[in-house]
Amino acid sequence: MTNSLIDKINFDKNQGLVPVIVQESKSNEVLMLAYANRLAIEKTIKTGFGYYWSRTRNKLWKKGEESGNVQKVFEIKIDCDQDTLIYTVKQKGNACHNNTKTCFQKNLL
């Protein structure tokens, strides 16, 4: 992604973040939702691994930096109003810190 394309992203005005839907490439399963700032997106593009901004720890976060459950990113898609991204990934191990494949477990209906 060139700098001019990053410039088109509508980051949240208060926090400078954009939500990122993380989707498994082979199944289309949604694994998690996280947030990225400009730096996280640049690191993702440069390294090919999923980077985010941790809102709880207030720092750049490479997914799997502690657990080893890294994400190889194949594709970054942006939506029509440029305020949401999808990272299409190959997930090593489980995505959720609760040791489940995805963070979405409970059906509320």
39 is an interface residue for a second copy by CB under 8 A: no
Which backbone phi and psi does 24 adopt, to 5 degrees? -75, 130
46 is an interface residue for a second copy by CB under 8 A: no
Structure tokens at 54: 């941790």
As measured in angstroms, the least distance from the Cβ of 51 to a second copy is 14
As measured in angstroms, the least distance from the Cβ of 68 to a second copy is 19
| Cβ 71 vs Cβ 90: under 8 Å | yes
For residues 43 and 46, what is the distance between their CA atoms, to the nearest angstrom? 5
In this structure, the strands spanning 51-54 and 59-62 are antiparallel
78 is an interface residue for a second copy by CB under 8 A: yes
79 is an interface residue for a second copy by CB under 8 A: yes
Among 23, 37, 71, 91, binds a second copy (CB under 8 A): 23
Give the torsion through C-alpha atoms of 21, 25, 30, 32, to 10 deg: -50
Q: Binding residues for a second copy, per CB under 8 A?
A: 1, 5-6, 19, 21, 23, 27-30, 32-33, 45, 73-81, 84-86, 96-98, 100, 103-109
